């Protein structure tokens, strides 16, 4: 009975969001194109993302239409700001290989291995390694975050690296 009720409420909710999507999609796409001169393709992608962002915090939104329009305008501005940083490549660059790809044969497997190794560690190690290597926290900052001593934080990070290496190898052998 309760499972049925749950399914019904999920469907109702999905229908409601589906209607919001259909009723506002064209408005958002047109706003991005007309006000910010964004290509139709990019405007459609932005509008789609705005709906997802809206879904994630719909419970907080009072004026849905205003929220959606403002979100697409702000998103279009952010998109244009990012695009303004792009620099056109000279024509001869078509013939030159991308220097970033010079060691792609070595770097790509390393990156993939890094990601997979990250995935198989404990939650404690996930957070320690993320703080240290993805967010650039210093060891004393990791210690504050984990409410521990600097000495223990340093030890934890080393152990987590060992754990990642060990578990990744074990996984490879399975």
Partner 1 sequence: MITLGERRDAFLETIARLTAERAAARGIVSSLRASSAEVWDWEIPAHWRTAGFVQELTSTASDALESNPRESLAYAQLALAIATSIPVGTYPTPVQAQIEGAAWKEIGTAHRYVGEFDAALRAYDAAQRAYGEADTLVHDSAVIELARAIVLPEMQRHEEALQLLASIEPVFESFEDRRHLVQVRQLTANIFYMQSRMQEARTVLEKALQDVSFDDLYTRAGLTSTLGLIYGQLGRREEALALFHRARGMFVDLGMTGEVTRTDWAVATTVLELGDTTKAIELLRSSRTNFLRLTMAHEAGLAGLDLADALIVDGRMSEARQVVESALAEFIAAKLNHNAIIALAYLRDILPTTSSPRKAVDHVKKHLKRLSFEPARVFLPQPEE
Contact residues toward partner 1 (CB under 8 A) are 6, 10, 13-14, 17-18, 21-22, 25-26, 44, 46, 48-53, 55-57, 60-63, 66-67, 70-71, 73-76, 78-79, 82, 115, 118-124, 126-127, 130, 134-135, 137, 141, 144-145, 147, 167
Measured between alpha carbons, how far is 71 from 160 in angstroms, rounded to an integer?
40
| Count of all residues that appear for the chain in the document | 174
Q: Which is nearer to partner 1, 44 or 150 (CB)?
A: 44
* Closest to 36 in 3D by CA, of 2, 85, 78, 87: 78
Rounded least distance, CB 131 to partner 1, Å:
9
Rounded least distance, CB 165 to partner 1, Å:
15
Q: Which is nearer to partner 1, 34 or 171 (CB)?
A: 171
Which residue bears the tokens 């074990």? 170
Q: How many CA atoms lie within 13 A of 148 on its CB side?
A: 14
């Amino acid at each position: 009975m309760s499972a049925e009720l749950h399914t019904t409420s999920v469907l109702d909710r999905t229908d409601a969001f589906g209607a919001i999507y259909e009723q506002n999609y064209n408005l958002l796409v047109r706003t991005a194109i007309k006000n910010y001169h964004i290509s139709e393709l990019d405007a459609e992608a932005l509008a789609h993302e705005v709906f997802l962002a809206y879904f994630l915090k719909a419970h907080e939104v009072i004026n849905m239409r205003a929220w959606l329009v403002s979100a697409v305008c702000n998103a279009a501005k952010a998109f244009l700001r990012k695009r303004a940083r792009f620099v056109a490549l000279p024509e001869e660059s078509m013939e030159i290989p991308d220097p970033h790809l010079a060691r792609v044969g070595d770097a790509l497997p390393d990156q993939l291995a890094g990601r997979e190794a990250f995935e198989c560690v404990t939650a404690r190690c996930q957070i320690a390694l993320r703080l240290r290597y993805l967010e650039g926290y210093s060891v004393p900052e990791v210690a504050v975050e984990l409410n521990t001593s600097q000495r223990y934080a340093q030890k934890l990070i080393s152990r987590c690296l060992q754990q990642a290496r060990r578990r990744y190898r074990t996984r490879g052998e399975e």
